[in-house]
C-alpha cells in the first residue's frame, strides 16, 4: 500500500483526513497524559502505603480518606518549595537534565496499545502512534534517558553528584543490553516489531497464549524484570540514588520542581516499563479467559474491557515492583555490574538461542 | 509538510555541526553532536529507513555519545586553549574545506535534474526486508563484524586499564 | 510536495566539510574524535539517500556496517585517549605531538 500524506495507518486501507488525524491524535495525547500523570502521582501513594504495610505500619492515611489526597499535598509542597539553584552549577544543563529525564519517561507511552484496534473516523483510538518499529522506539527512548542522569550529575558541579550519576549511567547502559536481548525471544515468536502484532499473537487462546506461558518466555520475563529494575534505578539496584549512599547521588543539588521532575520521571519509568512488560509478556489487553466468556454488554463495554485487563496487569506488575522494593536489600555496585554483565547477558543470549532453535524445529 | 520537516531537521543538523566547531568546552560540542545525530535519525525516517533511524538513536546517540560524555566527564580537562598549531590549520584548512564543499556541491547541483525528488513513503524498507538481505546474502560480513566488536571490546579493556 | 534528492546530498557534503574543518581546527583530542564521527554520519546520510533514490536496500546495509565499525572505533579510540591522558595529563594535541615524554 503506497503511503501518501492523506492515508495513515499501517496495514489498513482506509484513507484518513489529515486534519481529523491531527485533532484526534492531540485528543489522545491529552487524555493519556492526564491519566498517566495522575497514575504517576498515585503510584507514589501506592508505594508508600504498600511499603508501609510490609513494614507493619499504615503509610499515609491522614490526608483524605485512606490517604487518597496525599499526592495532592505532596505536589503542592514540592511546587511551593524554594527553588534553589547553587551558584556553581552549569545552568543550561542543570535545567535541561530533569526535562530530558521526564520527557523520555513520558514519550514511550505513545506507542503502547491499551485496547483493541477500534477505529473512529479511521483513527486507532487505543494507541497514540502505531509505528512499524514500536519496540525499537521504546529501546531508543530508554537509551536517551541516560542523558538526564548523566548531565544532572555533571552540571551539579559536586563530586558526590558526579560519582552518583556516573555510576547510575554506567548501570543503565549495562542493563540496556540485557533488556534488549530479553525481548528478542518475543520478537522471534511474533515475527514483527509492531506492538499491535505482538499483542495479537498473544490473543488467541487466553492465558495460554501469552508469551510468558505459551511462548515459554518466562526466563526472558525474569531477565526483563531484573533489567527493568536496574534501568529505573529501583531497589535492589538503587545504589546510585539511595539516601544513605553518596548523599542522594545525582539529584543532591535539586530542589522543588526540578526534584519533582526527577521523582516523577522515576515513577513514570516504572509505569512505562510495566506497560511494556504487559504488552510483551503478559498478553497486553487480551483477557486471560480468552473465548471462554461470552461477549456481554454493548460495544462500549466490549471496547473498554480490554483496557480494564491491561490496567489490571500493569497494576499487578507495579505491585511486584513495590513488593520487591520493600523486601530486598540493595546490591553493592560491583555486585550489580557483575550481575548484569556476567549473569544476565549470557542467560539472555542463551534464551535467544533456545527460542530460535525451538521455533526452527516446531515452526 | 515533507519539505518543512526536512528544512527544520536539516537546519538543526547544520546548526549542531557548526556549534560543534564553535564551542570551546568539549561537553557542549558533545551535546551539539547528539542533536546532529538525532536530527539525522529523523532524516533517515523521511528517507524510508525506519530501522536505521532507530539504530542511529540507540547506537549513536544512546551509546557512542554516552561513551563520549562519560570520557569528557571523567577526564574533566576543561576548556580548550589556543596553541601554536591552530594558526596554520586555520590558514590552510578553511580554504581547503571550502574548496571541497564547492566541488561536491557543484557536482551534485549539475545532476539535480536527473536525480529528481523523493517524498515520504516513496520507498520504505521494512525491518524484515533489511534483515533478509543481511542474514542471507551478507551473513559472512555480519559474523565478521561480531568478531570485530569482540576485538574492540578486548582492545578497549586492555588500553584503558590502569598500570598495576 | 517532494524534497529534491540533491538537498540531502548537499546537506551530507556540508556536514562532511564541517567535520573536516573541525578535525583540522580543534585542539582538543576528544573534539577531533567527535568531528570524525560527524564525518561518518555525513557519509551515512549519503548512503541512505542513494538507497532511497535507487530503491535498493544495499545502501542501508552499508550504513548498518558503518555504524558497527564506528561504534568499535569509538570504543577503542576513547580507550586510547584515556591511556594518553594518564601519561601526558593533557588533552591538547599540540602538547602530545612528540614521541618523547
Q: Which residues of C touch B138 (CB under 8 A)?
A: 61
Mean pLDDT of chain A: 86
Contact of B80 with C92, CB cutoff 8 Å:
yes
Q: Note whether A131 contacts B: Cβ–Cβ < 8 A.
A: yes
Asked if the C-beta of B5 comes within 8 angstroms of chain A's C-beta atoms, the answer is no
Nearest to A221 by CA among A188, A182, A256, A260: A182
- Among A84-88, B7-11, B39-43, B47-51, the range scoring the smallest mean pLDDT is A84-88
Neighbouring-strand partners of residue A29: none
Question: Of B34, B63, B70, which has the smallest distance from its Cβ to A166's Cβ?
Answer: B70
pLDDT digits (tens, 9 = 90+) for A157-175: 888 888 888 888 999 999 9
Checking if the pLDDT of A2 tops 60, the result is: no
Query: Using the beta-carbon criterion (under 8 Å), do B121 and A4 form an inter-chain contact?
Result: yes
Confidence tier at A227 by pLDDT (50, 70, 90): very high
DSSP-derived 3-state class of residue B138:
coil
pLDDT in tens, C23-82: 998 889 999 999 999 999 999 999 999 999 999 999 999 999 999 999 999 999 999 999
Select from A12, A5, A271, A276 the least CA-distant residue to A118. Answer: A12
* Tens-digit pLDDT profile for residues A24-47: 999 999 999 999 999 999 999 999
Closest among A53, A3, A63, A9 to A326, alpha carbons compared: A53
Q: How distant is the alpha carbon of residue A108 from its chain centre?
A: 7
pLDDT tens for A86-135 read 888 888 888 899 999 999 999 989 999 998 888 888 788 888 888 889 99
CA distances for C38 relative to A185, B41, B108, B137, angstroms: 34, 13, 20, 29
Which pLDDT belongs to residue A154?
87
- How far is the C-alpha of A233 from the C-alpha of A244, rounded, in Å? 15
pLDDT of residue C99: 78
Work out the average pLDDT over A248-253: 72
- CB neighbour burial string for B54-93, b if at least 16 within 10 angstroms, e if fewer: bbbbbbbbbbbbbbbbbbbbebebeebeeeebbeebeeeb
Helix pair A91-107, A256-281: axis angle to 10 deg: 30
Q: What are phi and psi of C39, to 5 degrees?
A: -60, -45
Angle (deg, nearest 10), helices C58-88 and C29-53: 180
Average pLDDT over residues A305-327: 92
Confidence of residue A248 (pLDDT cuts 50, 70, 90): low
Q: Report the share of chain A in percent with pLDDT over 70.
A: 93
Domain ranges of chain C: 5-95
For chain C, which chains pass the contact test of at least 3 CB pairs under 8 Å? B
The mean pLDDT of A141-168, rounded to a whole number, is 87
For residue range A203-213, what is the model confidence (pLDDT) as tens digits?
A: 888 788 888 88
Alpha helices in chain B (DSSP H): 2-22, 26-46, 50-55, 65-75, 85-110, 112-115, 127-132, 139-159
User: Average pLDDT in the B66-92 region?
Assistant: 80
What residues of chain B lie within 8 A of the CB of A170, using their CB? Answer: 70
The dihedral over CA atoms of C54, B134, B55, B147, expressed in degrees to the nearest 10, equals: -130
Predicted pLDDT at A79: 82
pLDDT of residue C93: 86
C41 with B89: Cβ contact below 8 A: no
Mean pLDDT of the B15-36 span: 93
Mutate one of B127, B130, B135 to test the A interface: name it (highest A CB count within 10 A).
B127
Q: Is residue A6 pLDDT above 70, yes or no?
A: no
Res A322 pLDDT > 60: yes
Domain ranges of chain B: 1-76+118-125, 126-164
Quote the pLDDT of residue C68.
94
Of A153-167, B92-106, C19-33, least confident by mean pLDDT is A153-167
Q: Which one of 1.20.1740.10, 3.30.70.790, 1.20.120.1200, 3.40.930.10 gives the CATH number of domain B1-76+118-125? A: 1.20.120.1200
Question: From the CA of A154, how many Å to the nearest CA of chain B?
Answer: 7
For the segment A182-195, the average pLDDT, to the nearest whole number, is: 91
Which of A236-250, A265-279, B47-61 shows the lowest per-residue confidence on average (mean pLDDT)? Answer: A236-250
Helix, strand or coil, per DSSP, at residue C28: strand
Confidence of residue A14 (pLDDT cuts 50, 70, 90): low
A154: which chain B residues are within 8 Å (Cβ-Cβ)?
27, 69, 73
Amino acid A5: pLDDT:
40
Q: What is the pLDDT of residue B1?
A: 82
Residues on chain B touching C2 (C-beta within 8 angstroms):
2, 116-119
CA distance B126 to chain C (A): 10
Interface test mutation site (partner B, options A146, A156, A166, A188, max chain B beta carbons within 10 A): A146
Interval A356-362 mean pLDDT: 91
The C-alpha cell of B16 is what?
Answer: 549542531
Chain A residue with the nearest C-alpha to that of B76: A154
Q: Which residues, including other chains, have CB under 8 Å from residue A207's CB and lie 6 or more apart?
A: A213, A283, A288, A289, A290
**Confidence at residue A343, expressed as pLDDT on a 0 to 100 scale:** 93
Residue A12, pLDDT above cutoff 50: no
Residues on chain C touching B86 (C-beta within 8 angstroms)? 25-27, 94
Average pLDDT, chain B: 89
Tell whether the model's pLDDT for residue A223 goes beyond 90.
yes
**If pLDDT is split at 50, 70 and 90, which confidence band does A259 have?**
confident
Q: What is the pLDDT of residue A245?
A: 61
User: What is the architecture of the domain spanning C5-95?
Assistant: Orthogonal Bundle (1.10)
Least confident segment among A3-12, B34-43, B116-125, C61-70: A3-12
Between CA C80 and CA C83, with CA C82 as vertex, the angle to 5 degrees is 65
Region B69-96 average pLDDT? 79
- Asked if C57 lies within 8 A of B125 by C-beta distance, the reply is yes
Amino acid at each position: 500500500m503506497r503511503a501518501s500524506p492523506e492515508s495513515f495507518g499501517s496495514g489498513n486501507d482506509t484513507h484518513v483526513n489529515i486534519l481529523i488525524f491531527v485533532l484526534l491524535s492531540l485528543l489522545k495525547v491529552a487524555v493519556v497524559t492526564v491519566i498517566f500523570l495522575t497514575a504517576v502521582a498515585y503510584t507514589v501513594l501506592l508505594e508508600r502505603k504498600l511499603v508501609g504495610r510490609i513494614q507493619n505500619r499504615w503509610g499515609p492515611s491522614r490526608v483524605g480518606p485512606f490517604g487518597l489526597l496525599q499526592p495532592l499535598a505532596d505536589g503542592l509542597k514540592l511546587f511551593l518549595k524554594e527553588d534553589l539553584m547553587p551558584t556553581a552549577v552549569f545552568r543550561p544543563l542543570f535545567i535541561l537534565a530533569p526535562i530530558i529525564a521526564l520527557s523520555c519517561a513520558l514519550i514511550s507511552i505513545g506507542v503502547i496499545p491499551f485496547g483493541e484496534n477500534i477505529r473512529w473516523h479511521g483513527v486507532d483510538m487505543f494507541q497514540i502512534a502505531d509505528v512499524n518499529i514500536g519496540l525499537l522506539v521504546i529501546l531508543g527512548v530508554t537509551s536517551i534517558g541516560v542523558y538526564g542522569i548523566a548531565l544532572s550529575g555533571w552540571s551539579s558541579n559536586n563530586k558526590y553528584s558526579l560519582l552518583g550519576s556516573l555510576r547510575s549511567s554506567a548501570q543503565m547502559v549495562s542493563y540496556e543490553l540485557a533488556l534488549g536481548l530479553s525481548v528478542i525471544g518475543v520478537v522471534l515468536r511474533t515475527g514483527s516489531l509492531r506492538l499491535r502484532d505482538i499483542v495479537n499473537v498473544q490473543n488467541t487462546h487466553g492465558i495460554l497464549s501469552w508469551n510468558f506461558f505459551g511462548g515459554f518466555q518466562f526466563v526472558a520475563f525474569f531477565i526483563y524484570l531484573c533489567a527493568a529494575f536496574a534501568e529505573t534505578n529501583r531497589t535492589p539496584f538503587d545504589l546510585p540514588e539511595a539516601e544513605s549512599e553518596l548523599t542522594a547521588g545525582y539529584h543532591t543539588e535539586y530542589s522543588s520542581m526540578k526534584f519533582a521532575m526527577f521523582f516523577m520521571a522515576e515513577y513514570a519509568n516504572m509505569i512505562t516499563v510495566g506497560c511494556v512488560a504487559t504488552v510483551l509478556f503478559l498478553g497486553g489487553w487480551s483477557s486471560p479467559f480468552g473465548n471462554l466468556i461470552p461477549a456481554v454488554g454493548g460495544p462500549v463495554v466490549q471496547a473498554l474491557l480490554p483496557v480494564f485487563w491491561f490496567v489490571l496487569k500493569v497494576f499487578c506488575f507495579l505491585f511486584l515492583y513495590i513488593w520487591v522494593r520493600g523486601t530486598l536489600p540493595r546490591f553493592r555496585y560491583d555486585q550489580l555490574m557483575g550481575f548484569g554483565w556476567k549473569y544476565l547477558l549470557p542467560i539472555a543470549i542463551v534464551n535467544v538461542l533456545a527460542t530460535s532453535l525451538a521455533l526452527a524445529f516446531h515452526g | 509538510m515533507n519539505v518543512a520537516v526536512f528544512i527544520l531537521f536539516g537546519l538543526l543538523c547544520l546548526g549542531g555541526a557548526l556549534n560543534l566547531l564553535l564551542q570551546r568546552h568539549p561537553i557542549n560540542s558533545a551535546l551539539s553532536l547528539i542533536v546532529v545525530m538525532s536530527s539525522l535519525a529523523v532524516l533517515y525516517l523521511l528517507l524510508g529507513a525506519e530501522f536505521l533511524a532507530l539504530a542511529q538513536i540507540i547506537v549513536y546517540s544512546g551509546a557512542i555519545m554516552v561513551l563520549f560524555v562519560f570520557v569528557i566527564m571523567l577526564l574533566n580537562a576543561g576548556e580548550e586553549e589556543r596553541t601554536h598549531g591552530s594558526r596554520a590549520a586555520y590558514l590552510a584548512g578553511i580554504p581547503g574545506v571550502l574548496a571541497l564543499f564547492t566541488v561536491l556541491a557543484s557536482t551534485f547541483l549539475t545532476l539535480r535534474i536527473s536525480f529528481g525528488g523523493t517524498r515520504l513513503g516513496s520507498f520504505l524498507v521494512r525491518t524484515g526486508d533489511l534483515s533478509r538481505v543481511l542474514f542471507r546474502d551478507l551473513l559472512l560480513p555480519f559474523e565478521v563484524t561480531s568478531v570485530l566488536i569482540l576485538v574492540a571490546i578486548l582492545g578497549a579493556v586492555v588500553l584503558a586499564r590502569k598500570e598495576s | 510536495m517532494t524534497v529534491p534528492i540533491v538537498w540531502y546530498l548537499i546537506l551530507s557534503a556540508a556536514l562532511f566539510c564541517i567535520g573536516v574543518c573541525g578535525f583540522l581546527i580543534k585542539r582538543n583530542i576528544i573534539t577531533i574524535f567527535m568531528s570524525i564521527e560527524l564525518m561518518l554520519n555525513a557519509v551515512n546520510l549519503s548512503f541512505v539517500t542513494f538507497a532511497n533514490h535507487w530503491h535498493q536496500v544495499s545502501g542501508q546495509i552499508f550504513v548498518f556496517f558503518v555504524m558497527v565499525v564506528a561504534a568499535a572505533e569509538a570504543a577503542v579510540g576513547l580507550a586510547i585517549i584515556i591511556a594518553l591522558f594518564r601519561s601526558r595529563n593533557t588533552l591538547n594535541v599540540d602538547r602530545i605531538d612528540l614521541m618523547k615524554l
